[in-house]
Amino acid sequence: MNYPLRSPRNVLLLALLGLTLGLTLGGAVFLGGPIAIGVLPSALAAPAPAGSMFEGPALIELLRPSDVVGDGSTPVDLYVLALHADGTPVVGMAVKLTATGGLSTPLEDTGGGLYHLVFTPSLTTFPTTGGVELKGKLPNKTAIDRTWSFPVSPPRNRGLAVSASPSMLTLGVDQTASVAFTFSGGDPRSLSGVRLSLNSTAGTLANVTNVGNGVFNGLYTPPAVSSPHLAIVAAVDAGDPMRTYGTLAIPLTANVTQSVTGPANTPVILKVAGRDFGPVKTDSKGRAKIAVVLPPGVVSATRVMAGADGVVTEQPFDLKIAETRRIALFPTVAAIPSDSRLQVPIRAVVYTPDGKPDDMATVEFTVTAGTIGPARPEGGGVYVASYSPPDGNVAAKASLKVTLVGGAALQTETRPLALVPVRVGRVALSATPARLPPGATTLTINALVAGPTGAPLPGRTLTLSANGAKLQGVTDLKSGSYDALFTPTGKGPVEVAASVAAPATGNEMTQLLVIPSQRRLPADGVSSSMLTVATLDEFGYPVPNVEVDLTLSTGEGSVPARATTNAGGVAEVYYTAGRKTGVTHIDASSGGLSAGVSIVIAPAALPLPTLPTSASAATRSFIDEWARSFAALRVERE
């Protein structure tokens, strides 16, 4: 178990990432989402100070969006906060909305000073910007002219073509071939960090090097055998193996000597794959040896002989060549979470015996753990099936097998699949006693840890921190329940925060999140909000040790210029407010990914709506699920 104690301040900040707390801190009530924060209703909160709270006639700001991908199809929900200078909501703005770099729905008033629109970015192959412009008037006839821009990332998936020079090798004669892997689409500037993952069914591929312009060159060496066959190369972008892949079959021909029999002293020819070999005269016993060049997939020839009477005869001739392997699996991700909700594409490629893509094959995938659906052709000889792993709480392995139905025993391939424990879906805390009596010397906090489906998760590592108590130890009750024993200190309430880290998969980063502990701060120059920066893979699991750049794009205050995520894929830094009211926009970027968040700088007594996240549905889901691994509890004293 891991029991690092954090500062009391961190305890409160971690609590912000939990589920619904029903807990009021510093005049704010936390309403249940990982980033949904609002103040108490005006009937309960202190009245807003009279006079202007913001510079100018109104505060109108776009809440900074996260992870806008320019694939031409993924919509992003954008929100605009509109408040009069005195802090009251702007109702019924009459504006013209213009979008740049994409399409937008009209602006919709959702109440409380929040307006909503849906922005769908255009397809792009370079990092670019999208934008929204509002022009019109407030209800009091004040003119509005606001323009915002935000980063738009190109989609990660690209085309990948594989070619060889020469395109065919003769075993024992040609020593090597140059294999080119050519990417198309996507951001060419991001190719410098691309890693290829390769599967070759025969021979070796080495020295794969980025030569620029989206091209990687490698050296292929055929195996030291003499039978004709195919070398199938299945390649993927290791950072995006589920979408970026390419394949090639290299025919490996062989020089083979065939023994032929017939009438003595008779010329004989073998016709093989459209070529004539011979004539060679049989000896006195009617035997002859003919050297032929056999391409893969050719199993028979035609023997041509002229008899003593001059009559030419042709007969089928069995070359006695073994069948060539013509199916291969594409490499997969480094590891797959044991989460049955997932649908992970698994691919294989099939070629005809002579090396052409086979779109008419019958392919079957099987796994030893989890379930996998039927194979579906995608074209170019590629077949795909959806794999759903089993739910699991421990690291495990599954065996994946693909088979060419009706083929020989060699028409199959097997590879292991690494499975990591499922991510935590819920952490719930309870206290015994529920309220601390005078003179209490012990406090037990019970943590119930469950997976996404509600199944208990024993054997996990809890990180606990407390304000007003000292942790003595944690007992794993082996049923997804954990008891943490604390000794209360001081005379105030005890606040406890608990988190359960997700296991790392070894997959590459595809998601960047920034989650603030507080979405509003006073303009006092000292108040701060903890920013939790998470670097995640395709499945929302942590990618450790990633450097992330941070900048203030709008507003005052300070934030570190750079953060590096820890072994759990998380970095915690602080934004400190300035002394000017308004909205501060914070941008994070790493590896071509971007994320943003907005923090309102306003008096604590000002009622504000619950601030939503400007992002796609998938990004909001990642934030929500990831934050469920946190919980907080406040234990009052009698």
Question: What SS3 state is found at 91?
Answer: coil
Output the six-digit token pair for 498: 């608990």
Q: What is 157-238+242-329's CATH number? A: 2.60.40.10
Residue 479: predicted pLDDT: 93
Lowest mean pLDDT among 72-81, 580-589, 623-632: 623-632
Residue 51: predicted pLDDT: 64
Give how far Cα 248 sits from Cα of 162, 171, 177, Å: 6, 18, 13
Residue 572: predicted pLDDT: 86
Give how far Cα 33 sits from Cα of 30, 585, 608, 627, Å: 8, 20, 16, 8
Contacts of 453 (CB under 8 A, 6+ apart): 340, 341, 391, 425
Convert the pLDDT of each residue in 618-638 to its tens digit: 998 888 888 788 888 999 998
At residue 1 the predicted structure's pLDDT band, cuts being 50, 70 and 90, is: very low
Convert the pLDDT of each residue in 428-464 to its tens digit: 999 999 999 998 999 999 999 999 989 999 999 998 8
Q: CB of 552 within 8 A of CB of 598?
A: no
Convert the pLDDT of each residue in 370-422 to its tens digit: 999 999 999 999 999 999 999 999 999 999 999 999 988 999 999 999 999 99
Residue 275 pLDDT greater than 50, yes or no: yes
Model confidence, pTM: 0.83
Residue 18: predicted pLDDT: 36
Residues paired with residue 287 on neighbouring β-strands, in sequence order: 261
Pairing of strands 528-536, 547-554: unpaired
Share of the chain above pLDDT 70, in %: 92
Nearest alpha-carbon partner for 328 in 206, 239, 410, 210: 410
Residue 36: predicted pLDDT: 29
Q: Which residue has the higher pLDDT, 31 or 448?
A: 448
Residue 15 pLDDT greater than 90, yes or no: no
- 316: cis peptide before it, omega within 30°? no
Output the six-digit token pair for 447: 């943590």
Residue 17 pLDDT greater than 70, yes or no: no
Output the six-digit token pair for 21: 């707390």
Residue 206 pLDDT greater than 70, yes or no: yes
Per domain, the residue ranges of the chain are 8-154+425-635, 157-238+242-329, 339-420
b/e map of 581-596 (b: 16 or more CB within 10 Å)? bbbbbbbbbbbbbbbb
Instruction: Indicate the Cα dihedral angle 140, 141, 143, 149, nearest 10°.
Output: 60
Fold adopted by 339-420: Immunoglobulin-like (2.60.40)
